Amino acid sequence: MKLFVDANLLVAVVNKEYPLFTYASRILSLFDRKGFVLYTSPICLAIAFYFSEKKSGRKVACKKMALLVRHIFVVAVDAEVVNQAIRQKNIDDFEDGMQYFSAKNAGCEIIITENPGDFHFGDLKVMRAEEFILSL
């Protein structure tokens, strides 16, 4: 199963933000479980880096990003993704549109986020972290 991990989960893990950390860290631990492949976007990584650097400094943030990218595939955010987001008329937030289409183009089946309403415009399944973990 291909899972797209949104920025809010990454931020919760790199900064140990409870209560989301409990579920987000379990999702990220699926990287070594057969049948699961994790994906995120460069945008999500940039957001996670920003908040990690703010809390822990640049050196620690770099180490955390290096660890993340060893276990999560980074999807492409290219001209096609940008154009798909632009063409989709019912997108409220351009960044969410780019996340959605980068996940869809990578073949992801589920977007895991704490803001499922941000992806109301698409046909991919969207779940909160706790909901996904409890469904396993």
Measured CA to CA, the distance from residue 102 to residue 108 in angstroms comes to 9
For residues 78-91, average pLDDT: 96
Q: Where are the domains of the chain?
A: 2-135
Is the link from the previous residue into 116 a cis peptide, with omega within 30 of 0?
A: no
Residue 9: per-residue pLDDT: 98
What is the C-alpha to C-alpha distance for residues 34 and 111, in angstroms, rounded to an integer? 19
Q: How much is the average pLDDT of 31-55?
A: 97
Percentage of the chain with pLDDT > 90? 99
- Supply the CATH classification number for the domain 2-135: 3.40.50.1010
- Per-residue pLDDT tens digits for 51-64: 999 999 999 999 99
Its pTM stands at 0.96
pLDDT of residue 84: 97
